[in-house]
Structure 1
Amino acid sequence: MSKVKGPVSQFIEHNYRHFNAAALIDAAKGYEAHLDAGGKMMITLAGAMSTAELGISLAQMIRQDKVSIISCTGANLEEDIMNLVAHSHYKRIPNYRDLSPQDEWDLLEEGYNRVTDTCIPEEEAFRRIQKHIHKIWQDADQKGERYFPHEFMYKLLLSGAMQENYEIPVEHSWMIAAAEKNLPIVVPGWEDSTMGNIFTSYVIKGEIKASTMKSGIEYMAWLADWYRHNSAGKGIGFFQIGGGIAGDFPICVVPMLYQDLEMHEVPFWSYFCQISDSTTSYGSYSGAVPNEKITWGKLDIHTPKYIVESDATIVAPLIFAWILGM
């Protein structure tokens, strides 16, 4: 399907001809072809992509129906909202490589938590969200209701409770875009996040029952059902940003359905791309080449496979720009 491309895409096509640059455009064209053929796409977010403000491009991908489901870490789930309500309080440190242990301690004393060159302000970010989400957790607990982590965040955003605190255009928040579309999300290992730690503190204090928050096992069971009902036709692609649990967790749903539930009609993932700076190495799943996933029953021999060994903060927005025709 021929499409008119904007200046960013034209620049990519003219200049990106070899090595990781060529892999980038191959992956982008493969993604586009998958959607054009009627396929769906999962995007997985590892690292600190929300703090890197991937929402500027990812929100557009969501609004234009270029992504059907997201798997992300608890950190990425919450950090988009943190940036939404505390953006002006963030501190950027371009010379972060030169910081001494004392410099790092001073940042902590000032209420900052550093992610590479960006410092998240604890009071304005974490605590501002905590005040509102705590009430939503409590209400559900008292009513005997249970929800997934992302569903609680959707409730928070759709309530408008923090709207007066927004400090960036809502068009730049991928979580707002996702909430408005009720986009399916799975959040493996949510307990690892700041909000997960805070929720656990209320459980330890006896204020909220642990069961009020649905678990990772329930996420996997939900994902298995979603996959079965959405994998017909061209199937579901897998676009992995970074490594870790955000990608490892959902990709396993296919071999689980096939091997453990003996649903042999379930198709493999029908597109695969990983953007990672984790190069091929011994025993590193994040650095494993896509073909290794064939032996685990995740990808087919004929699944289009791409790997871009580069910085996802640079690569992902460019691939999204191509798909969006920018």
Structure 2
Amino acid sequence: METKPEPGPSAAKEEEEQERRNLINQEFEKTRSTILVNSQPLPTDQFKVKVEGPRFDQDRSTIDLGNLLNAYEAIGFQATSLSQSIEIINKMRSWRLSDDDPTVERGSKEDESARIFLGFTSNLVSSGLREIISFLAKHNYVSVIVTTAGGIEEDLIKCLSPTYLTPDKTFGSVEGKKLRSLGLNRIGNLIVPNQNYCQFEDWILPIFDQMKLEQDQSNAKWSPSKVVERLGHEINHPDSFLYWAAKNKIPVFCPALTDGSLGDMLCFHSIKTDPNPLVIDIVADIRRINELGRSAKKAGMVILGGGVCKHQIANAMLYRNGAEYSVYVNTGQEFDGSDSGARPDEAISWGKIKGDSESVKVFADATLVFPLIVAATWAKDHWKSKPETETTEPVESKK
């Protein structure tokens, strides 16, 4: 019998190399199958929007603000969240009771709209967002406002003297010690001369005197919201959101009324009138805002920033088992358990937002995105209702 010759050194080496390659290919196929897992077919009723951005070189209309904001939905990340915020605000603005109750006639007195609660921190009133807030109050676009003491005083002070940008428009270009020696207060890249607060004191203390007199002579009861309403009437200035809120009977709540220059003025006045000072009842306001939350047919929250203004509104929503619409705009994070950084889902767990509600958090500086949100919602419809030839509105004189 003829025996098969033993493979030579070269053939044996080739066989060994082939086995090695086969082993590598087997391992590669295992790895490949792990990485390139086949996708299940996407439900077409859920996955409708393809990710894509505006094509600036293909269509001139993409530079139009409205068209650009419409494109945000498909961009992804916070652009999509911004688009959601616009959609939710438009829904809360347009809802009417007749949408849910067929027994209510469309457009009738009983056809109530959603009650919109607007909250914002004081720094936003220091910024140019103040004029946007005034626009919303002037035209009755919001139902309830919640802010902090700084939000109240900054609105009033700006009617007396302006706030300025730092000379080079940057943060901290002049050290705090130097600014203090010049009597200049810095808020980010804004400067408020301390003289503004001196003017504020001269303006507000006589008003407190009159309120104290009304308390003593006619048993007037003052809560923070009643104090703020009075200040809105007294300032009598069309740039002020407090003026418009008072004029339109929009309640402005300030749970932390004493936390700021306003608190200093109350402190000074209390010392001067001791032992019978001006009394401000904070419990009256918590009852009032909670009832506004409870009695709303539907409620929406638009909250810029965090802290007191955010939680005071959210807590009032608890009295109705949660808001139907919610938009948060802030840069807070939730890793430390802060309410300021909490996403809407956390509020759902507390019953402050309904589980089937429409809600979004936009992670952004409100000065960047709120002008865009308002432009695409309230302002868009505001001008849509006017003739195209009308490009300005009459401005109330500053009295």
TM-score band, normalised by the shorter chain?
Answer: 0.7 to 0.9
Cross-structure match for 1:199: 266
Residue 165 of structure 2 is aligned to residue 108 of structure 1? no
Cross-structure match for 1:314: 368
Cross-structure match for 1:52: 127
Distance 2:312 2:275 in 1: 27
For 1:90, give the aligned amino acid.
Y
Q: 1:159 to 1:277 in 2, by over 3 A?
A: closer
The unaligned stretches of length 5 or more in structure 1 are 1-5, 164-169, 258-265
Q: Give SS of 2:376's match.
A: helix
Deviation at 1:95, TM superposition (A): 2.9
Deviation at 1:115, TM superposition (A): 0.5
- Does the 8 A contact of 1:146 with 1:211 survive in 2? no
Q: Give SS of 1:48's match.
A: helix
Q: 1:284 to 1:198 in 2, by over 3 A?
A: same
Q: Which piece of structure 1 moves more, 178-187 or 299-308?
A: 178-187
Q: Give SS of 1:237's match.
A: strand
Deviation at 1:119, TM superposition (A): 1.2
Q: What's the RMSD between the two structures over aligned residues?
A: 2.3
Deviation at 1:66, TM superposition (A): 2.0
Q: For each residue in 1:120-176, what CA deviation from the matched residue of structure 2 results, as whole angstroms up to 9, or x when unmatched?
A: 1221x2222222221121122123223234433443443457x6xxxxxx3x43222
Distance 2:329 2:179 in 1: 31
Cross-structure match for 1:167: none
- Does the 8 A contact of 2:170 with 2:189 survive in 1? yes
- Does the 8 A contact of 2:334 with 2:341 survive in 1? yes
Distance 1:77 1:26 in 2: 30
Q: 1:60 to 1:53 in 2, by over 3 A?
A: same
Cross-structure match for 1:223: 289
Q: Which piece of structure 1 moves more, 187-196 or 279-288?
A: 279-288
Cross-structure match for 2:148: 73
Distance 2:307 2:279 in 1: 26
Q: Give SS of 1:178's match.
A: helix
Cross-structure match for 2:164: 90
Cross-structure match for 1:260: none
Aligned to 2:309, which of 240, 243, 246? 246
Q: Give SS of 1:75's match.
A: helix
Residue 90 of structure 2 is aligned to residue 32 of structure 1? yes
Aligned to 1:119, which of 185, 191, 194? 191
Distance 1:51 1:252 in 2: 26
**Greater relative contact order structure (CA < 8 Å, 6+ sep):** 1
Deviation at 1:303, TM superposition (A): 1.1
The unaligned stretches of length 5 or more in structure 2 are 1-62, 96-112, 381-399
Deviation at 1:188, TM superposition (A): 1.1
Distance 1:155 1:292 in 2: 36
Residue 328 of structure 2 is aligned to residue 274 of structure 1? yes
Number of residue-to-residue matches in the alignment: 295
For 1:293, give the aligned amino acid.
A
For 2:130, give the aligned amino acid.
G
Residue 311 of structure 2 is aligned to residue 236 of structure 1? no
Deviation at 1:249, TM superposition (A): 1.9
Q: 1:133 to 1:325 in 2, by over 3 A?
A: closer
What is the aligned-residue identity percentage? 19
Aligned to 1:10, which of 63, 67, 85? 67
Distance 2:289 2:231 in 1: 23
Distance 2:275 2:261 in 1: 17
Q: Give SS of 2:367's match.
A: helix
Residue 338 of structure 2 is aligned to residue 284 of structure 1? yes
Aligned to 1:140, which of 211, 218, 224? 211
Distance 1:252 1:130 in 2: 33
Cross-structure match for 1:3: none
Distance 1:271 1:70 in 2: 16
Deviation at 1:32, TM superposition (A): 0.8
Cross-structure match for 1:179: 246
Q: Give SS of 2:328's match.
A: strand
Distance 1:63 1:208 in 2: 40
Bigger CA radius of gyration: 2
For 1:223, give the aligned amino acid.
I
Deviation at 1:267, TM superposition (A): 4.2
Distance 2:240 2:235 in 1: 14
Deviation at 1:268, TM superposition (A): 1.8
Distance 1:193 1:9 in 2: 39
1:157-172 matched pairs, under 5 angstroms: 157-159=232-234, 170=238, 172=239
Deviation at 1:73, TM superposition (A): 0.5
Distance 1:62 1:286 in 2: 24
